[in-house]
């Protein structure tokens, strides 16, 4: 669908998609992935101008109902955080191929972490399923991709980031709503201020909700009277299930399944939104990837071809759309879907049956760490190997790619890793 800039609702939807889809929810985990080009240095911001802005905002309608004492408590002496502004403006250096997302988001480590957490929380997940009708595996997939099962939630103080973005930069109106809502969360006593940290854009907690999503969707499942998606796993998992239910989740339906297309298939029918009855796809010769007939577990399904006609193919139903609504990205939704399948199953292979159409697949986090170790051994100052490819790693990759006669695009792939391994052997001799 084409978005019309003339329609304010559409523009708002686009802003939301940009903010939450690319850089908000899940951004803590993925901040390094969408590959920012060299981020310019942050601007110098005036504290006096910032404080004047905060005083002005308090009287506006966005902040209606917020206790002046709460407002004062959280803004008195507050300094702006200029480092969020370059993040707001950055443009992706290149479009990351889907196989890179999948390799790093759905790797053996995350599946192992997920299976351990699944065993630990299964009784709670069953209670959540009874109340919201969302299967445990689906909740686990979201939890894993959003915060690595609560391990990575982001460390930026929300009040500081969101108030800065409310007073400086290009999207102030959007961020003012979120700033006001974070104050409402504090006023409600749901999460203590010192725990209210997250991505630069304000996504926080184990579910990586924006404050407005929190107010609409978060629930108190452990019964202590607070909706705490940071410290309470039951609250976080139930809030995720509630989000999916509100997005139209259908109990008992799978997200979809991998399929195989017949030769000469007309791929113009592809598209998540182009939902057709299962009989249509069956009649077109689409089969499960093992060749068996399509199971009637989906009523309507769209054909997803994330890498075109020559890569893996999927039929996806309404529940895939609920995953999409979490992050506004089909690649993220596919990662959640695949992780959910693996966490609740026994397969050891993390990829799909049909390989991605590339001769240079992406790297797992373990392989990213190995790559970073090889870069460190060559004198690149990239910090500790953490498996996340940030700007410093990318710059080092470009240098090494140039030295090895490869295209210097900053991408961490199997060919570069192999080349550096061979190169390392040669250096030791």
Q: Which residues bind Ca ion (CB under 5 A)?
A: 220, 222, 224, 226, 228, 232, 235
Closest approach of Ca ion to the CB of residue 184, in Å: 17
220 or 360: CB nearest Ca ion? 220
Closest approach of Ca ion to the CB of residue 144, in Å: 22
Closest approach of Ca ion to the CB of residue 116, in Å: 23
93 or 220: CB nearest Ca ion? 220
109 or 220: CB nearest Ca ion? 220
Alpha-carbon distances of 49 from 45, 53, 79, 162, 222, rounded to whole Å: 8, 6, 10, 16, 43
213 or 232: CB nearest Ca ion? 232
Closest approach of Ca ion to the CB of residue 217, in Å: 14
- Edge-to-edge order in the sheet of strand 256-260: 271-277, 300-304, 313-316, 256-260, 287-288
Closest approach of Ca ion to the CB of residue 222, in Å: 4
Closest approach of Ca ion to the CB of residue 223, in Å: 7
195 or 369: CB nearest Ca ion? 195
Closest approach of Ca ion to the CB of residue 185, in Å: 13
Among all residues, whose Cβ is closest to Ca ion? 220
222 or 370: CB nearest Ca ion? 222
100 or 235: CB nearest Ca ion? 235
225 or 293: CB nearest Ca ion? 225
Closest approach of Ca ion to the CB of residue 232, in Å: 5
């Amino acid at each position: 669908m084409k978005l019309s800039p003339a329609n304010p609702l559409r523009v708002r939807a686009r802003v939301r998609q940009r903010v939450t889809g690319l850089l908000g929810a899940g951004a803590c985990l993925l901040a390094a992935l969408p590959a920012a080009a060299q981020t310019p240095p942050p601007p110098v911001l005036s504290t006096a101008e910032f404080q004047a802005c905060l005083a002005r905002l308090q009287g506006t309608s966005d902040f209606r109902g917020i206790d002046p004492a709460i407002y004062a408590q959280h803004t008195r002496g507050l300094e702006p955080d200029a480092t969020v502004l370059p993040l707001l403006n950055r443009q992706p250096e290149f479009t990351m191929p889907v196989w890179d997302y999948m390799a790093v988001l759905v790797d053996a480590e995350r599946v192992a972490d997920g299976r351990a957490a699944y065993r630990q929380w299964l009784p709670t997940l069953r209670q959540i399923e009874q109340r919201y009708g969302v299967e445990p595996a689906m909740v686990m997939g979201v939890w894993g991709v959003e915060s690595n099962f609560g391990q990575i939630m982001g460390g930026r103080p929300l009040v500081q980031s969101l108030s800065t973005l409310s007073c400086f930069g290009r999207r102030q109106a959007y961020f003012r709503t979120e700033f006001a809502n974070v104050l409402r969360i504090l006023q409600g006593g749901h999460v203590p201020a010192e725990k209210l940290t997250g991505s630069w854009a304000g996504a926080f907690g184990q579910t990586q909700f924006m404050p407005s999503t929190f107010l609409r969707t978060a629930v108190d499942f452990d019964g202590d009277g607070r909706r705490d998606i940071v410290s309470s796993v039951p609250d976080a998992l139930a809030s995720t299930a509630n989000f999916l239910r509100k997005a139209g989740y259908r109990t008992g339906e799978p997200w979809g399944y991998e399929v195989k297309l017949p030769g000469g298939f007309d791929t113009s029918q592809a598209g998540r939104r182009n939902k057709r009855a299962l009989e249509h796809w069956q009649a077109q010769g689409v089969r499960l990837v093992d060749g068996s007939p399509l199971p009637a577990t989906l009523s309507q399904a769209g054909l997803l071809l994330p890498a075109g006609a020559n890569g893996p193919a999927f039929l996806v139903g309404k529940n895939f759309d609920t995953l999409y609504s979490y992050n506004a990205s089909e690649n993220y939704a596919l990662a959640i879907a695949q992780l959910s399948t693996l966490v609740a199953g026994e397969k050891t292979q993390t990829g799909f049956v049909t390989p991605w159409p590339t001769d240079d697949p992406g790297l797992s986090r373990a392989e990213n760490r190995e790559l970073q170790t090889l870069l460190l051994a060559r004198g690149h100052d990239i910090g500790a190997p953490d498996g996340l490819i940030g700007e410093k790693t990318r710059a080092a990759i470009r240098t090494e790619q140039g030295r090895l006669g490869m295209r210097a695009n900053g991408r961490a792939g199997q060919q570069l890793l192999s080349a550096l391994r061979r190169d390392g052997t040669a250096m030791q001799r």
